[in-house]
Chain A
Amino acid sequence: MGEGERLAGLVRAAQRGDGLAMAELVDALAPAVGRWCGPIALQEAEDAAQEALIAILRGLRGLRDPAALFGWARAIAVREAVRVARRAGREQPAELADVPAPGDPQLAADIRDVLGRLAPEHRAVLMLRDLEGLDERSSAAVLDIPAGTVKSRLARARASFRKEWQA
């Protein structure tokens, strides 16, 4: 049995209320949830990841296609991470609410510093694009906003980021 088939079986069993299957899904999802929540929630990352995992497990009954588990879980985790980061509100930047372009040397130098100067929603865009490799349309779907909004925000943000960085 392949990994996808195994996970689909676990999803179906968890949807029927099987606690052991739910525990095995926790094992399968926890590394990815940590990867998604870390760049968005920063200091609150562990709390955000725990909240995200709870929301994912509680929402499992609504997942119609078990094969879509990770994409579906990612959308929930990103939204939870943004929510927890906004609630904490301690590292709101700022004057710099922009997303640097791919390959910007500042990203390579200190990603945490860059993330700390962005709003949580922009950290989410950056993570989805640079870490998860999503295009603007897919990022917009995850964030539940129009694709055009992501695109225009990114375009404005890149120019603004360069300006601030070079100032």
Chain B
Amino acid sequence: MTWPVADLDAIRRLRALAAAVPGAFVAETTLDAPFDQVWAVAADLEHELPAYLPDVRTFTITARDGERLQADARGYAGLRARFDIVLRPGWCVMRSRFLLGGLAAAPDGQRTRLAFLGAVHIPAQQAAAPALAAIGRWAGPRVLARFASRVHQRDPGPPAT
């Protein structure tokens, strides 16, 4: 006897996380590229994250233990933050003292659904949540557009014949 089971894919998990974190936003898109090509960009945090997050100048992995990583991020304004990260295929969540970020991907045939989460931890966060969400609605699609551009730059093209 096999009971029906609901599949909570990575996109739905990230949506749930965003819905529960005050001020968090989540932006979603579908990329015209296979999952492996998309996740190659997401997983290459040191090289790719500064390319699609405009405020990040460098992102250096300082420790790695299986799925758990630590990284040192530096911004253009001289800001510096240490991130704790969980990274595996289709799922990446990172947290610093003031920021929470996430990426989730799920294959959709030959295409890939991608979601990006952002949240800021600040005092009086509940009161600021609507404003933060509004910023997210503006910023989220732009981050995804930059991410898509990085994916297409990695496009291997058709195999040589």
Contact = CB atoms under 8 A, between A and B. Distances in A.
Interface of A: 17-20, 22-24, 26-27, 30, 33-35, 37-39, 41-42, 45-46, 48-50, 53-54, 57-58, 60, 107-108, 111-112, 115, 127, 131
A57 B17 contact: yes
B4 A49 contact: no
Given A33-B8, A50-B8, A53-B8, A23 B17 contact: yes
B8 A38 contact: no
Question: Main secondary structure on chain A at its contact with chain B?
Answer: helix
B93 A46 contact: no
B1 interface: yes
Given A19-B100, A19-B119, A20-B84, A26 B17 contact: yes
A46 B19 contact: no
B3 A111 contact: yes
19 contacts: A19-B119, A20-B84, A20-B100, A22-B17, A23-B17, A24-B86, A39-B3, A39-B4, A45-B5, A46-B8, A46-B12, A48-B6, A49-B12, A50-B8, A50-B16, A53-B8, A53-B12, A54-B16, A111-B2
